[in-house]
Amino acid sequence: MLEATPLTDGWTLRHEGEALPAVVPGCVHTDLMAAGVIPDPFLGRNESEVAWVGRRDWTYERDLDAASAHEQTDLVFDGLDTVAEIRLDGRLLGRVRNMHRSYRFDVTGLPGRLAVRFLSAYAEAEAVRGRLGERPAAYAEPYQYVRKMACSFGWDWGPTLVTAGIWRPVRLEHWSTARIARVRPLVTVEEGGGRVELAVDVERTRVEAPLTVEAAVGGVRARAEIDGTRGRVRLQVPDARLWWPRGYGEQPLYDVELALRGGDGEVLDVWRRRTGFRSVELDTSRDSRGTGFTLVVNGERLFARGVNWIPDDVFPSRITRARYRERLTQAADAGVDLVRVWGGGIYESEDFYDVCDELGLLVWQDFPFACAAYPEEQPLRGEVEAEARENVVRLMPHPSLVLWNGNNENLWGFRDWGWEPQLAGDSWGEGYYLGVLPRVVAESDPTRPYTAGSPWSGSWRHHPNDPAHGTHHSWEVWNREDYADYRRSVPRFVAEFGWQAPPAYATLRRALPAQELAPDSPGMLHHQKADDGNGKLERGLARHFAVPERDFDRWHYLTQVNQARAIAAGIEHWRSHWPVCAGTVVWQLNDCWPVTSWAAIDGDGREKPLYHELKRLYADRLAALRRQGDKLELALVNQSGQAWTGELELRRVSVDGRVISGSGEKFTVDRRAVAVVPVPHRLCPTGPDEFLVADAWGSPRRSEAGSAGDQRALFFPAPDREIPYPRPEFDVALAPGGITVTAHTLVRDLLLQADRLDPDARADRGLVTLLPGERVTIGVRGWKTPDAALARSALYCLEPTR
């Protein structure tokens, strides 16, 4: 039986002739921090002080005892970041240049000193650029010339911290006769059950030895002979239960085990995974509106409620299974059902996909290409194909994985960002996205759809970012326009759109210790990486609010309100146009360090108001008021599997709390459907001192007095800076597990910033608008000493501007 020995202990890192303790898996930066050589680059402006680390070569060392009674011993690295020479007692075992691959070296009977020398990724990238020529990119760093996590080199939300190290586990594997080299599982759904076909590759020490494989799943067993180095075993699983996305059904998972046996029946090696049975299609058929882009799982057409995922830490070796579970559970709790793993990052670890399997989160997986023209010559071309083949097969067991995507924004960049004339015929990646990668997916994983890029209209016959065809990235709004302009079009699938806001107050206080907080303070500007980011924040704010002068707390609150409002404007509009629009993927769920960004969860894991707004926007049932010309409509969106019936109450209200007019009626919305209700003219607000309230109550109506409907929509006809809000009046009282706020006036966008009470405190809801007489209970966890007066000091809402 194959025996594995983890190599986690005894490592040192060579620094200026000194041997520092090293943690494996890990990276140079985290080891240098632990040794006190460098400060935490996340704090203040320390990032700049540690830039030299990425320019140096580094060596990890430890003693290696490869002695074993087995016939062969392999040294196996699951991940090396990125360019390295591996030597044993000075003997070269190999050279590597790809962070996204694993590596195996025969070290049978070779004890000695193991050294893994990492060359600077900058040096490698610049050498490749020198040989292959310049290629354009969105950023000045040379990330497109090396197969490494691109955002290590910095992004418009990330620091420039170019890492090196043994970033994934390393071990010795001792084996005899044969071992399992690769298992390619094809999991499909057939009438009456499921089917698992396991294509097995083996490596041998004895060519003539007879070998068999035995597989088991769901109580079904099968056996097959190995012919040379390959075999195939098939299993039919009758009455297999279907795996569904969250909100559509359950997520049953099945253990799959494959054993490799020798001629005497001895088990030589075992491969184990979990999988689930489901079908997935991507409907890109043409219609009168253009070219669709709709995911279909188990025959059910979905509106994808998505978020974009970036690496959760600039130092990915620090991301544990528990951290993946925490962050992805936050996503699921917000109503998310699709996570797009963005192409400037990595193929995540098994832990990520395991958690998605369990939570029912669909995974859209980008291949690691983003915002640059990538050379297609060697040495990159061979590395790209090798990494793609390895990772496609590695991730195939996971039912959560439903889509392979060739790249992020590179097809769009070629057409719109001035690349084509700069390239003058040089390769730029098209051969990967339209050639190599679809071929690898078709050959290795025909059970899943592939799309060439995001955005991508499906062919060069249309502009790559044409909203009428395929996927669309909506960035004109954030960069140049008001978020109300999201409502001007109905793309077929919005794969990226977003709006910035700063992180939580406690996150800023930790990241910028002893600094005065101001939007333009040196520390705040260092933790704002977007081009003219603060300018865009201020211009976006000024369209709706009076921008506060020299009041950081108010600026902090209003920018977070504006972020939530912007995303709401897009999602409400696009969801109300299902099935023409079949999904929204918010940029972005998470951050990799403390920074002003588009994230809903900041770099310390704290939820911004946007996170809580997503709970409303991505709920199965949503009410949204929208202007159509000079008329108002209420869209009732029902993404649940049952019809939605109830009572609808519409009220035209003045900002001082008077109900001017109202009406009520019953409604029914079919499952997975949208119903549009015209708003009578007499209920439409006539000026900035009026607004419309729509409450949809489920049937039977179950609600306490003083609370909103099951779904509430509000329509204010003017920007907030023009609305004569009353001075807000409300009472605050402690409640079991939180506080209760009772409004005596209109209280718009009330927010409890719980981290101002205690850095560990979290509120269970974000922005809420209360009419006079209404109340809300806000749960708070992690608050060590509850106090009503203190809670009032952490409550923010909109106030009169004059």
Q: Closest Cα partner for 188 from 153, 259, 261, 237?
A: 237
Q: 559-580, pLDDT tens digit by residue?
A: 999 999 999 999 999 999 999 9
pLDDT score, position 703: 52
194 DSSP β-pair partners: 189, 237
Q: 351-373, pLDDT tens digit by residue?
A: 999 999 999 999 999 999 999 99
> CA-CA distance, 404 to 452, in Å (whole number)?
8
Amino acid at 486: Y
Contact 365, 416 (CB under 8 A): no
Q: 622-671, pLDDT tens digit by residue?
A: 999 998 888 999 999 999 999 999 999 999 999 999 999 999 999 999 99
Q: What percent of the chain has pLDDT over 70?
A: 99
> CA-CA distance, 410 to 419, in Å (whole number)?
10
725, two tokens:
């809000």
> Residue 443 CB: number of other CB atoms within 10 A?
11
**Predicted confidence band of residue 177 (pLDDT cuts 50, 70, 90):** very high
Inform me whether the pLDDT recorded for 550 exceeds 90: no
Q: Calculate the dihedral angle through the C-alpha atoms of 53, 55, 56, 62, rounding to the nearest 10 degrees.
A: 70
Domains and CATH numbers, the chain: 3-172 (2.60.120.260), 177-275 (2.60.40.10), 298-366+467-614 (3.20.20.80), 371-454 (no CATH), 621-722 (2.60.40.10), 730-796 (no CATH)
Inform me whether the pLDDT recorded for 100 exceeds 90: yes
Helix axes 350-359, 321-333, angle to 10 degrees: 30
pLDDT score, position 802: 63
Average pLDDT over residues 6-23: 94
Inform me whether the pLDDT recorded for 60 exceeds 90: yes
pLDDT score, position 698: 85
> CA-CA distance, 305 to 388, in Å (whole number)?
27
**Predicted confidence band of residue 707 (pLDDT cuts 50, 70, 90):** low
Q: Where are the beta strands (DSSP E) in 152-253?
A: 170-175, 178-190, 193-204, 212-217, 220-225, 230-238
Average pLDDT over residues 493-506: 98
Contact 777, 740 (CB under 8 A): yes
Amino acid at 664: G
Please, which residues have CB within 8 angstroms of residue 539's CB and are 6 or more apart in sequence? none
Inform me whether the pLDDT recorded for 80 exceeds 70: yes
| DSSP 8-state code for residue 349 | P
Please, which residues have CB within 8 angstroms of residue 56's CB and are 6 or more apart in sequence? 120
pLDDT score, position 15: 84
| DSSP 8-state code for residue 387 | H
Tokens 């008077």 map to which residue? 658
Contact 780, 762 (CB under 8 A): yes
pLDDT score, position 423: 97
pTM of the prediction? 0.96
Average pLDDT over residues 729-752: 97
Average pLDDT over residues 52-63: 97
> Residue 788 CB: number of other CB atoms within 10 A?
13
Q: 507-522, pLDDT tens digit by residue?
A: 999 999 988 999 999 9
pLDDT score, position 207: 86
Inform me whether the pLDDT recorded for 286 exceeds 90: yes
Q: Which helix (H) or strand (E) holds 622?
A: strand 621-628
Average pLDDT, the chain: 96
Inform me whether the pLDDT recorded for 424 exceeds 70: yes
Contact 78, 169 (CB under 8 A): yes
Average pLDDT over residues 393-401: 98
365, two tokens:
């997986």
Contact 192, 236 (CB under 8 A): no
pLDDT score, position 6: 97
Inform me whether the pLDDT recorded for 420 exceeds 60: yes
Average pLDDT over residues 604-613: 98
Q: Which helix (H) or strand (E) holds 585?
A: strand 583-586
728, two tokens:
């807000």
